[in-house]
Amino acid sequence: DTGVSQDPRHKITKRGQNVTFRCDPISEHNRLYWYRQTLGQGPEFLTYFQNEAQLEKSRLLSDRFSAERPKGSFSTLEIQRTEQGDSAMYLCASTGMGANVLTFGAGSRLTVL
């Protein structure tokens, strides 16, 4: 068990570019969550998957954001036409069925110039 892995750890991009983050959850965990954290704030929920099904999306997730978990294993979070306000730490977490304890990855820090 190597924990939750996120890639890349840090991404610097120019405004208007697209970025994609990847999350590999703990292998036996069927629920996968994406959160966003900005300076001075706690993690804010973005979306979550149970297996390959995306069950909930936050209103924070504008139509520029899309998340997938095609085979119920790893997940990707894509941000199109990035804006400076998208600069944040994007956190991935996973948990097993019926369990409520989130195991977090190290996060992917996005800086939009």
- d(CA 28, CA 4) in angstroms, rounded, equals 11
Residues pairing with 92 in the sheet: 34
If one asks whether residue 51 binds another protein (CB under 8 A), the answer comes out as: no
Residues pairing with 75 in the sheet: 23
If one asks whether residue 98 binds another protein (CB under 8 A), the answer comes out as: no
Nearest in space to 31 (alpha carbons), one of 54, 9, 5: 54
Binding map of another protein across residues 68-97, x = CB under 8 A, - = no contact: -----------------------x-x----
Stretch that binds another protein, among 11-19, 67-75, 76-84, 98-106 (CB under 8 A): 98-106
**Which of 27, 53, 71, 101: binder of another protein (CB under 8 A)?**
101
Q: Are 89 and 104 in contact (CB under 8 A)?
A: no
**Which of 105, 108, 110, 112: binder of another protein (CB under 8 A)?**
105
